[in-house]
Structure 1
């Protein structure tokens, strides 16, 4: 069993926000509420406490969930006096911790806003990717995203931001700058920039919703073979449409096969993984979910696949949940070869609820099983081709993004080898039929 301490910081962030293989975020739900233990507590921190309790009581799936003890917990929670929302939040977290499920988590309003941004795949801002230059002294534009205020204003890769709303960026971290650039839709932000051959200039941009790219792809030539390489960061609500566009574009460029990189992908929306599986599979089962009442729902391919070209999927110990749904479906149906190391092993699904004070709750509400029916929770999925990395190779992949998806990447290199074998098999001409003599032809003529 892998420990949470082994997770990368990005995976920890997703787990902390309960965003692994979730259903879509829902608003506050109307459940069969049990009357309060005390008199009405309208406008009290107890409102959120009781909302959380009710949702867990109605939805939570846990093998050893003690409903009688949960009733006692409710009584204890509502008998307390809370001087602030923060005190109520602390009490909620303590109660949820007793459930023994790391994926049922409470999110304060800021955490819930971050989760919503991740799952929707959108944020309100100007649409740029940033980094510090090699000297660590200048905030530099890496990319202006398509259909964003920055793109429309002509901001280019390599432009350096000197001031944001007249605040110097020289001592800012990238995260601090990004926070200043985000803001309410319709609000404005003024940037002072510099560009080689243009010098100093200033632009004022109006913030707008921007689709965050979670899929990065490229066409790569590998000794006469064209490989469509795709790196999927997470399963946001825009992941499927980005995948659809990428497959179409790469096929237009004449690819011979695909490598889908799910390494480090902590999951996201269940439905996004199902939609993407259907792009690769013409037929076959994808995943089955089972709730605490024993009710099950099965998702299958629906004859809408976009390609039959060979596919290799890269996985590792940080490929979790929605990544495992997709990888398991492709492996079990013989649609793809998995290369890498054992996946994380998270076989549960969370529903996410917004609460009355803009906080949120992610609660485990079902378990899922790949087509094989094997319980992968705490076990993961074994790759078809196991390729372990030594510490130096792991360090290089983490520290140098250009290594990922290159021949210096052992997982990718192995995937190319698998594709080459498939490509060679498809390229071998069929054995010509043996010559037929005149006598044989005459004997085959019907009387």
Structure 2
């Protein structure tokens, strides 16, 4: 095998698009000697350390080839069918290669990807050079938006047509955003030249990393290999989450995707950026040029987004269902996320219904936190979720709270210890969660403190409530201690740990959570008692949407003393009252209509005729505006003339506000239903 020192540059002259030949430069990459031991170490750690027992065999090898191709070319736009046919020789060979520490077959596939990608980018630059006015925007044709199951292009001519349509679609969307053809040519030319430049900078680490992560991804989506450089990028991203806009990002295909928002961070407070949004451009200050970042590396995007505290960054984003189209610009003032702002917060709500006054407490918990440093130092006043909630709840009770809502929406988890101890505030004592390791051993985390608050309780969750949030919500439901309200939770019921390798490190899934009922939170999450409209499509957001997610299963249930706080007849009565409100309450109707509208926008194909696309865009925007104006009419609010007015009114997430938060408002109505039904039962 040749060493990395023999790396050379290939030059390819492209002529089939009928314009001036363009010189495409890319490097043929070869495995570094260190990769041999890394691959063996990776295989050993996965084999003996991962929760899921998988063997290096032909079945795994076959899956690995498919996943490698999917990760390199998810839309089947780069590789030709002849490439795929050639790669078939490796379908049952990867297992043997991994045992030997041989990543050369993976490098052959990666190098072919580089070749095809370079060809395609130069093809697009050639079309742009010919002139975008040569594209026929009056022609009646369509572009397929989802190609993950499409056939691979049979030849270059077939591929040319796919990419011509792709260019036409991009230009049309820029035109509909009031860009001239000249502007579009500049934007797209710069984009493809940047992508070519990035391809030319690819290293053996990049090729090995794709292969190693495809291999790790066969075990579960949270098991990841980090090369030394990727480890640095990961750390940069974590710093960004605390010293920028407060968002965790990842690369998805050519786009930068928002994975989650850091609670109480600038983006979370601003309220417009959402998890799963795609960032397509970044601008500095109030008027700086929006730089197109499609195809950029994550660390390069992060570098643009980071900046001094108090400065402004403008993000050009599209909703996930729009796949980079219909962009809007979001203005965010950078700041450092203050840990104290991530702490639990309370509010006492005074509500009157049917002439009866109610006082309800709301405690919002953005994350499960604990100050380990202060705890280890012996500080008796160390901060933690449980200690803060206990204090806040005591204050609310002193203020006359008759019931409590624990708001865990968007809470992605945190300290397992805190989820167990927080549960302990609401149950006399007993088991809270079961944790099974890779060898089948089960340990039980329990609450041993008999002290608890016997206040009527509701827990609000949504699709982004994960991990520790699911442990708490699941325990409250299993103990029949209170109502769980919202939408099905994320379904992350696994635990990861970092393991150093001889070169880089591996994040490895080692354990799985189970509720005291014996059911896992993995994949299925926690299903609420009362379902409320959600923003996220559970087929696209959540553990169950991830490739290779570990399956749901169950273990033996633990004996526990269930509360008598909620009977089945009471639950049925509460559900019936909620449905009656949901059929008439303008905000709830609008939320459901908006979700249905987003689902309808996910078309299998889009027109490439300018007039047809413009009409589709106008119809879509008109429908969205109609939903909002129907809601406003029902609430005697002034009508809006444009969507721009609606976007300008987007609320921030700074405070607990019933007027802005329709779901929380319905949560209070449901809790009042519980209080009134329990009061009637007592009499």
**Residue pair 2:425, 2:453 contacting (<8 A) in 1 also:** yes
Deviation at 1:220, TM superposition (A): 3.0
Which position in structure 2 is the counterpart of 1:383?
Answer: 528
**Structure 1 residue 226 and structure 2 residue 362: aligned?**
no
Matches within 5 A, 1:14-93: 44-46=34-36, 48-62=38-52, 65-66=54-55, 72=96, 74-78=98-102, 80=104, 84-93=204-213
1:335/1:116 CA distance change after superposition, 3 Å: farther
**Residue pair 2:47, 2:55 contacting (<8 A) in 1 also:** no
Which position in structure 1 is the counterpart of 2:651?
Answer: 400
Residue of structure 1 aligned with 2:517, choices 372, 376, 399: 372
Report the 3-state secondary structure (helix = DSSP H, G, I; strand = E; otherwise coil) of the residue aligned with 1:264.
Answer: coil
**Residue pair 1:215, 1:230 contacting (<8 A) in 2 also:** no
Residue of structure 1 aligned with 2:664, choices 409, 412, 437: 412
**Residue pair 1:262, 1:314 contacting (<8 A) in 2 also:** yes
Q: Which runs of no fewer than 5 residues in structure 2 stay unpaired?
A: 1-31, 61-94, 108-202, 248-263, 265-283, 291-300, 313-334, 352-356, 373-382, 534-590, 599-627, 629-645
Which position in structure 2 is the counterpart of 1:241?
Answer: 384
Residue of structure 2 aligned with 1:299, choices 441, 445, 464: 445
- Name the CA distance, whole Å, in 1 between partners of 2:525 and 2:499: 27
Deviation at 1:301, TM superposition (A): 1.2
Matched length:
328
**Structure 1 residue 341 and structure 2 residue 487: aligned?**
yes
Residue of structure 2 aligned with 1:324, choices 460, 470, 474: 470
Matches within 5 A, 1:158-307: 171=288, 179-181=306-308, 211=339, 213-223=341-351, 224-237=357-370, 241-253=384-396, 254=399, 255-303=401-449, 307=453
Deviation at 1:406, TM superposition (A): 1.6
Per-residue deviation, residues 65-93 of structure 1 (Å, max 9, x unmatched): 12567874632435659964333322311
Q: Which runs of no fewer than 5 residues in structure 1 stay unpaired?
A: 1-39, 131-144, 146-166, 183-190, 194-206, 432-447
1:314/1:286 CA distance change after superposition, 3 Å: same
Higher RCO, Cα 8 Å, sep 6+: 1
- Name the CA distance, whole Å, in 2 between partners of 1:177 and 1:218: 36
- Name the CA distance, whole Å, in 2 between partners of 1:60 and 1:386: 35
**Residue pair 1:219, 1:250 contacting (<8 A) in 2 also:** no
RMSD (Å), alpha carbons = 4.6
**Structure 1 residue 113 and structure 2 residue 315: aligned?**
no
Deviation at 1:248, TM superposition (A): 0.6
**Residue pair 1:46, 1:88 contacting (<8 A) in 2 also:** no
- Name the CA distance, whole Å, in 1 between partners of 2:402 and 2:37: 58
**Residue pair 2:471, 2:521 contacting (<8 A) in 1 also:** no
Deviation at 1:304, TM superposition (A): 6.3
Q: Provide TM-score, normalisation by structure 2.
A: 0.40
- Name the CA distance, whole Å, in 1 between partners of 2:36 and 2:448: 46
- Name the CA distance, whole Å, in 1 between partners of 2:55 and 2:471: 29
1:45/1:345 CA distance change after superposition, 3 Å: same
1:169/1:331 CA distance change after superposition, 3 Å: same
Deviation at 1:172, TM superposition (A): 8.8
Report the 3-state secondary structure (helix = DSSP H, G, I; strand = E; otherwise coil) of the residue aligned with 1:365.
Answer: strand
**Residue pair 1:49, 1:88 contacting (<8 A) in 2 also:** no
